[in-house]
Structure 1
Amino acid sequence: MLKAKKQTWRELGDAVALTGESPFWDPVRRAVLSVDIRGERILETNWDDGNARIFPVEGLPAFIAPLTDGTLAVATRHGIIGLSRTTGRCIEMLVPAWFADHLRLNDGTIDPAGRLLIGTMAMNGALEGQLFAIERGQPPVALIDGIGIVNGLAISPDGLWLYISDSHPDHNCVWRYRYDCAGPTVCDRTLFADFKRLGIAGAPDGAAMDVDGGYWIAALGGSALIGFDRDGRIAHHIALPVSQPSKLAFAGPDMTEVAVTSFSRGDQSAPAGTLIAVSMPSVGAPLQTLAW
């Protein structure tokens, strides 16, 4: 494994999350969107001055993405809602008929067609997680099942590969699939990175892609961001001031920094649950727009 390198970082404002997750760069408003799962709220943090707007949202919000009209699509325990950043009102967008009481939505990403790819996880620890492709007004399409905790979702810049991590202790690895956006369908699963075999501390949580097809993932409990090349080799190991980094999103006008969310813990040099920005050795791939 490469030796960890200290990296320049800064706090993005002083808003603190109990369980910070799902950062999403909004270039129109020059802001980082994120969720506080246990705090049940949405944060919109200004990139330039760190001021944060906070919107209460019930139901353990876990993923967020802006629509073309500025509305925020938020995945919660009960389904997907639309949140107005003007009024703070929430409207029901999708309540899946397949949802069970012991399940909740977790990590998500957006494919080149603007579909929402989002996973479920069982709150009782069972290996019942699934990955769904969802278009508004259409039945969800089940792509993958038998996952412990769906995380690490990202699609390569050419749209050909889907990455998904399973941060359940029984798995603790990243898989890669061939992705056909026209279907959508997945096939040709390969083991991309086994955290235990590679000796990486922590669990593979949220992820992002760079323009060269590099896959970056937060090591929850490992105080680091891990960068992999296309062949699954560790190319970068960036030490962080937070022990529980949960997800990263390339951000900023030139996409050379990442916004990193984290869980509240006392054993970290940055204030627990603080959103931080970290300078990166690569340029981030632009995020897709949710076409709902």
Structure 2
Amino acid sequence: MATVDVDCVLDIRAELGECPVWSEPEQALYWVDIYAGRLNRFDPSTGENRVWTLPEPIGSFALCEGGGVLLALKSGLWRYDLETGTLAALASPESHLPKNRLNDGRCDAQGRFWVGSMEDPVDPARPMGTLYRVGRDFACTSVADGFFVSNGLAFSPDGRTLYHSDSYPAVRTVWAWDLDPDDGAVSNRRVFVDTKGMAGRPDGAAVDADGCYWMAANDGWEIIRFTPLGAIDRRIALPVAKPSMLAFGGPRLDVIYVTSIRPSTGLDDQPQAGSLFAVQAGVTGLPEPLYRLT
């Protein structure tokens, strides 16, 4: 396991920190605290963390071309104006499933938003999650279903491979799909990584400029880098058990920001659980695409 510099850059101790997204123009990191319904903006140059409190849990989001934010709230997709606080409803793909909420999501290079859902809490007897592709007209297309905890969305540098995982303990698998960049169609789903036997389960993820898949290993105290062939390439230890997602940031996209979860017990050896960490791993990431509206 590699020894690198890991710094707690925001000792905030969120209940469920998730979905870090780096804004290159602002040189700032946006992230969420899911159940608190908080969208955050962390400025590494000042240490300031600004908070917008939303009326529902927020699973993920995307920064929009032209400004504003696309929010994946419990009830569906919304457009949010950061200056005025105005919310505009866009789509509600699971209004018929009141126990479900939207979870992990991110944009592909064409500006489409991909987001998965889950029943919360999970019913072990039935996987109720679906993976959706959201077009520029806000239309939600069901891509695949039968997931417990939809997670781990990321894209290869050429935009032709989609990664997606299910974090549920009985599944804990990352899949790869062939992705048609033009129409967003996916095919040839196959197992990329089966984490059974590893300490950590697959949570959020990101792909670096070399095409390697970085996985937040929930319950594993680490982040793991996999080659495009699915082989473990690097493991970086963290001071928290439950890293939840990561994003590349900084002026050169060479800082890995990691969000984390704060469990209700077992905090003696991880007092900063739920906080935001920065990892100097010596690798470069990819710019995060914006959501492109019609």
In 2, Cα distance between equivalents of 1:19 and 1:32: 16
User: Aligned AA for 2:116?
Assistant: G
- Equivalent-residue separation in structure 2 for 1:267 and 1:186 (angstroms): 44
Q: Do the aligned partners of 1:218 and 1:248 also contact (CA within 8 Å) in 2?
A: yes
Q: Counterpart of 1:289?
A: 290
Q: Which residue of 1 aligns with 2:90?
A: 93
- Please give the alpha-carbon distance, in whole angstroms, between the structure 1 residues aligned to 2:84 and 2:10: 23
Identical pairs, percent: 35
TM-score, normalised to structure 1, is 0.93
Match of 1:30 among 27, 30, 52: 27
Report the CA distance shift for 1:6/1:268 in structure 2 as closer, same or farther (over 3 A). farther
1:267 and 1:186, CA in 2 relative to 1: closer, same or farther beyond 3 A?
Answer: farther
Shift in Å, 1:77: 0.5
Deviations 1:204-260 (A, max 9, x none): 000000011100010011110010001100000100011110000011111111111
Q: Distance in 1 between matches of 2:205 and 2:62?
A: 15
| TM-score under structure 2 length normalisation | 0.93
Q: Aligned in 2, Cα 1:22/1:267: closer, same or farther, shift over 3 Å? A: farther
* Correspondence for 1:210: 208
Given that 1:14 and 1:50 are in contact with CA atoms closer than 8 Å, whether structure 2 keeps it comes out as no
Q: Residue type matched to 2:251 in 1?
A: P
Question: Is 1:158 equivalent to 2:158 in the alignment?
Answer: yes
Mean Cα deviation higher: 58-67 or 211-220? 58-67
Quick check: 2:75–2:95 contact (8 Å CA) kept in 1? no
Who is 1:280 aligned against? 281
Which range moves more in the overlay, 102-111 or 78-87? 78-87
Amino acid at match of 2:240: V
- Per-residue CA distance 1:128-148 (angstroms, 9 max, x = gap): 211111114353111111122
Identify unmatched segments of 5+ residues in structure 2. Answer: none
Q: Could you report, residue by residue, the CA deviation over 1:75-127 in whole angstroms, capped at 9, with x for unpaired residues?
A: 11011122222233323232236541021100112112100011011223331
In 1: Cα distance, 2:182 partner to 2:222 partner:
35
Matches within 5 A, 1:192-271: 192-196=192-196, 199-265=197-263, 266-269=267-270, 271=272
Contact 2:256–2:280 (CA under 8 A) maintained in structure 1: yes
Q: Aligned partners of 1:97 and 1:120: how far apart in 2? A: 9
For residue 42 of structure 2, the aligned residue among 24, 42, 45 is 45
Q: Aligned letter for 2:276?
A: L
Of 128-137 and 162-171, deviating more is: 128-137
Whichever residue aligns with residue 91 of structure 1, its letter is: A
Kept in 2, the 8 Å contact 1:34–1:42? The answer is yes
Alignment partner of 1:108 is 2:98: no
Comparing 180-189 with 156-165, greater Cα deviation is found at 180-189
Following TM superposition, by how much is the alpha carbon of 1:182 offset from its aligned partner in structure 2, in angstroms?
2.0
Question: C-alpha distance in 2, partners of 1:115/1:267?
Answer: 42
**2:121 is the counterpart of 1:120:** no
Who is 1:141 aligned against? 141
Q: 1:84 aligns with which of 76, 81, 86?
A: 81
CA positional deviation for 1:69: 2.7
Backbone CA RMSD of aligned residues: 1.6
Gaps of 5+ in 1: none
**How many Å separate the matches in 2 of 1:258 and 1:171?**
26
Q: Indicate how the Cα distance of structure 1 residues 186 and 281 shifts in structure 2: closer, same or farther if over 3 A, else same.
A: same
- Partner in structure 2 of residue 172 of structure 1: 172
